[in-house]
Amino acid sequence: MSSLDATTLEQAAKLNVLDSVGQQVPFGSLIEGGNGTIVVFIRHFFCGSCQAYVAQLASVKAEALEKAGKKIVIIGCGDYQPIKNYGETTGYKGPIYADPSRALFNVFGLIQNLETTPKGEQKKSYLTKSYLGNVLSSIWQGPLKSPHHLGKQGNISQLGGDFVFNQDGQCTFASRMKHTEDHVEVADLMREAGVEYP
């Protein structure tokens, strides 16, 4: 769970992400203010597993985040057009951004592969569907339901990660996905961020 050094953070702060209307926003501005920020890098916008994870993040109470002075920011590796639909699909009402160049993903050391949970390793609790169920969900939420977003979802082999930043913008927790079903349990992530959950 290696953290991020000052040089990496300085580099990341200058990179832009896109909001839901395509406006550029410096990453540095997302981790400023309050008592800190939880940043979740998801895979492509059609990924059924990540959608299930973000739906679980949506269950974190707004009052708990407010009490801790924390906010959650989601960043996907696709283009900005699917963002609005992604929020509606997952029920997540917080800020979602896009990094189509994946420059930020690269700076954060997020790797690419299409592996799933290794045999003998327990699947994460957010994975309530079977592998086939997730694939079908991805197809339904993607090409079938939103054909106009096809090609804008992002690189399907790009993995994400989960990070916690304190009020000074320093990274206090870092977890990079090793495979496509490897987000940190929401309860563990909230504990690291000092947010009450459930």
pTM: 0.91
- Convert the pLDDT of each residue in 18-40 to its tens digit: 999 999 999 999 998 889 999 99
Compute the mean pLDDT over every residue in the chain, rounded to the nearest whole number: 91
Q: What is the CA radius of gyration of the chain?
A: 16
Cα angle for residues 135, 136, 141 (degrees, 5° grid): 100
Read off the pLDDT band of 93 (50, 70, 90).
very high
pLDDT for position 21: 97
Task: List Cα–Cα distances, 191 to 52, 68, 173, 198, in angstroms.
Answer: 20, 11, 11, 10
**Topology of the domain comprising 6-190:** Glutaredoxin (3.40.30)
Read off the pLDDT band of 173 (50, 70, 90).
very high
Strand order across the beta sheet in which 24-26 lies: 24-26, 16-18, 96-98, 70-76, 36-41, 161-166, 171-176
Q: What is the mean pLDDT of residues 77-104?
A: 95
Of 48, 196, 24, whose CA–CA distance to 133 is shortest? Answer: 48
Q: ω into residue 147 within 30 of 0, thus cis?
A: no
Distance CA 156, CA 14 (A): 25
pLDDT for position 193: 97
